[in-house]
């Protein structure tokens, strides 16, 4: 484990530019969960289709100025939810605040995200190794907040074949990711079955992003 004296004991450095802030969101995680439920009432979770024609095992929705979507035409950010034809639910002020505070704690001050991707994992759901590169601007960090069942997060390098390390992300953990780590490959191993007091038999993950390429 790499520890930096710049950070407190709950902070683990994954790579230059990527830190895991253990428990950073724990005090507000119930409020975050309740806010997610409100968003889902307007923009329900759905399993997107990859450009290759596969149904993603993770279910997704978004809030903010745009949402990340995937279909046979590719990956992109869209200002409207394709399901409803209406704008995505607005970014709650409490979400922007959490993202700002976490980014600042990780050494990225003054970053306000315009998109929040909401991922929902049921047992067995996984996210294959990928880079987050549809934002069109890599100067802003990404802030990731975990809720519910623990997940094994895989973190590698800038090349797909670089060796990966595994980190267990628990409810309330926050990963911040930017600078030289912004394009690192990462993924989530199949979710192990279990029951969590906050979420039940699932995990949620929020990723706050700054997207410039919006269609
Ligand atoms: C997840 N997270 O933890 C998926 N991407 O469910 C991501 O894909 C991710 O956690 C970029 C930065 C942080 C992340
Ligand atoms: Fe990602």
Q: Pocket residues for ligand 1 (CB within 6 Å)?
A: 119, 127, 132, 142, 144, 153, 175, 177, 186, 188, 205, 207
The model's confidence at residue 8, banded by pLDDT at 50, 70 and 90, is confident
> What pLDDT is stored for residue 5 in this prediction?
65
**Superfamily name with CATH number, domain 3-47+58-63+92-209:** Alpha-ketoglutarate-dependent dioxygenase AlkB-like (2.60.120.590)
> What pLDDT is stored for residue 4 in this prediction?
56
CA of 89 to the centre of ligand 2 (A): 21
Maximal CA-CA distance, the chain: 49
Q: Which residue has the higher pLDDT, 164 or 9?
A: 164
Is the CB of residue 190 less than 8 Å from the CB of residue 121? no
Every domain of the chain and the residues it spans: 3-47+58-63+92-209
CA-closest residue to ligand 1 atom 13: 144
Ligand 1 test: best mutation among 14, 25, 126, 144, most atoms within 8 Å of CB?
144
> What pLDDT is stored for residue 189 in this prediction?
98
The model's confidence at residue 1, banded by pLDDT at 50, 70 and 90, is low
Backbone angles phi, psi at 22, to 5 degrees: -70, 125
The model's confidence at residue 9, banded by pLDDT at 50, 70 and 90, is confident
* Residues 122-150 pLDDT 10s: 999 999 999 999 999 899 999 999 999 99
Angle in degrees, 0-180, between the axes of helices 93-105 and 29-42, rounded to the nearest 10: 130
Measured from the Cβ of residue 159, the count of other Cβ atoms closer than 10 Å reads 8
Is the CB of residue 100 less than 8 Å from the CB of residue 111? yes
Report d(CA 18, CA 176) in Å as an integer.
6
């Amino acid at each position: 484990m790499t520890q930096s004296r710049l950070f407190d004991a709950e902070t683990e450095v994954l790579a230059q530019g990527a830190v895991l802030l253990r428990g950073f969101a724990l005090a507000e995680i119930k409020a975050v969960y309740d806010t997610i439920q409100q968003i889902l009432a307007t923009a329900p979770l759905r399993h997107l289709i990859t450009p290759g024609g596969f149904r993603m095992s993770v279910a997704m929705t978004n809030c903010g100025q745009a949402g990340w979507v995937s279909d046979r035409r590719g990956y992109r950010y869209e200002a409207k939810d394709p399901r409803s034809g209406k704008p995505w639910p607005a970014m709650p002020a409490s979400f922007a605040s959490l993202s700002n505070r976490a980014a600042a704690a990780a050494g990225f001050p003054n970053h306000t995200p315009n998109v929040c991707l909401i991922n929902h994992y049921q047992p067995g759901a996984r996210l294959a190794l990928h880079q987050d590169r549809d934002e069109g601007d890599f100067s802003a960090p990404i802030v990731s907040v975990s809720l519910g069942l623990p997940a094994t997060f895989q973190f590698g390098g800038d090349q797909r074949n670089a060796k990966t390390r595994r980190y267990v992300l628990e409810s309330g953990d926050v990963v911040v990711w930017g600078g030289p780590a912004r394009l690192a490959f990462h993924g989530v191993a199949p979710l192990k079955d279990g029951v969590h007091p906050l979420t039940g038999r699932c995990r949620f993950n929020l990723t706050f992003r700054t997207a410039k390429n919006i269609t």
